[in-house]
Structure 1
Amino acid sequence: MYTAFENKLIIAKGNIEEVVLTIKKRIGLSNHTMALIFDDELGRTIDIDFSGTIEDVRQRLLVFVPKETKETLPGPGRPKLGVISREVSLLPQHWEWLALQRGGASVTLRKLVETAKHNNPFHGQPRFYQDAVSQFMSVIAGDLPNYEEAMRMLYRKDKLNFFAQIKSWPEDVRLHLKKMVTPIFVPDKQKKKKLI
């Protein structure tokens, strides 16, 4: 999901296409906007070229969408599972090892990716979310009062003082931050319950 802010007010929320096209409709043929588009998971801004028509902008969004394979009629073999083919470069010994695995290279690579996602020391951990919030705050709130103290409270995981520091900030910024920091301020007991 993505969120667009303009003058610290939310002007669009949704997938990348919905957000970008909402902004493009607002600015018309102009390619200038003060809007900032954020990736809600990573807290990073996304740069978009708004020049040209709505269709021009829509075409440039294709880099955000995985390349689709051609539609084919059902036939013999396995059904399509939404798998996207891409090239992978490995050393010969890696290909040899993959060839020996049950299910073949594709199945093994998918399993390895899923295992890595679950074992990632950052994703799903407070530090991952803190860094995302920090990215967002540095862009949208760096000029707001108590910014530095709020950042310290974020990394200390001090919920009460964090919200005390941002209480005078614009409402849309506060509400967006409230959603972003939720995984950081989950009590340890609740974290354990989620794991069970």
Structure 2
Amino acid sequence: MDSEPLYAVFQDAKRLILGSPAEAALTARQATDNRPDAPVLIFDRETGKVVDLDLRGDAQEIAARYTPVTETARRGRPKLGVVAREVTLLPRHWDWLAQQPGGASVTLRKLIDAARKSGSDLKARTNAAYQVMVTLAGDREGFEEASRALFAGDTAALTKRLAAWPADIGREILQYLDANRSQS
């Protein structure tokens, strides 16, 4: 089962929350109500893009709009959102997969998840970090140098540049580069 998306809510240069869509929407609404003169930005933690959540209504309406509906448990296999597609492998690959515990599908999913965590999706995470960096710090001193360090993969130089910016901005950008820390 896919987990709920994570959203980071910023007002000024401060991260207010990292949470579910419902938590993000409620926090954004409260921040907007408390300080209508300070814009609130909500980032999709997966892509780094700014998302627009519907903040109309009271807290219950907002929470209901973004709280996932839970399905009652049914007999049989759980619905995983599985999409069947053809995979073409050589006989030796099928032989190897047949020997793995859990079968071919489980093994392939585990291999893909391990590859994603090990950095094979570094380009996507770098692009997401850049989206956040442009939005939150595009006009800050040292932006050009920080973006060069980001795309060069020079984390030490990037961290040095980010140190001159508000701490929450730097922490948020670095979160995208560490696949194991994306939940914090």
TM-score tier, shorter chain, comes to 0.5 to 0.7
Q: TM-score, normalised by structure 1?
A: 0.62
The secondary structure found in structure 2 opposite 1:172 is helix
Encode CA deviations 1:96-153: one digit per residue, 9 max, x unaligned: xxxxxxxxxxx99888766665667x97432122111111112111111121221111
2:55 corresponds, among 50, 60, 63, to 50
1:163 corresponds, among 159, 162, 165, to 159
CA contact (8 A) 1:37 1:47 kept: yes
How many residues are matched? 160
Task: Tell me how far 1:155 sits from its aligned partner.
Answer: 1.0
Matched residue type, 1:37: I
Which residue of structure 1 lines up, in the alignment, with residue 14 of structure 2?
Answer: 9
Task: Tell me how far 1:170 sits from its aligned partner.
Answer: 1.1
Q: For 1:29 and 1:7, how far apart are their aligned partners in 2?
A: 13
| Backbone CA RMSD of aligned residues | 3.8
Which residue of structure 2 lines up, in the alignment, with residue 194 of structure 1?
Answer: none
Which stretch of structure 1 is more off in the superposition, 20-29 or 146-155? Answer: 20-29
Computing the radius of gyration from Cα coordinates, the structure with the larger value is 1
Identical-pair percentage: 21
Task: Tell me how far 1:29 sits from its aligned partner.
Answer: 10
Matched residue type, 1:172: D
Matched residue type, 1:4: V
Q: TM-score, normalised by structure 2?
A: 0.65
Task: Tell me how far 1:38 sits from its aligned partner.
Answer: 1.4
Matched residue type, 1:20: A
Which residue of structure 2 lines up, in the alignment, with residue 173 of structure 1?
Answer: 169
Structure 2 spans left out of the alignment, 5+ residues: 1-5, 86-102
The secondary structure found in structure 2 opposite 1:45 is coil
Q: For 1:25 and 1:115, how far apart are their aligned partners in 2?
A: 42
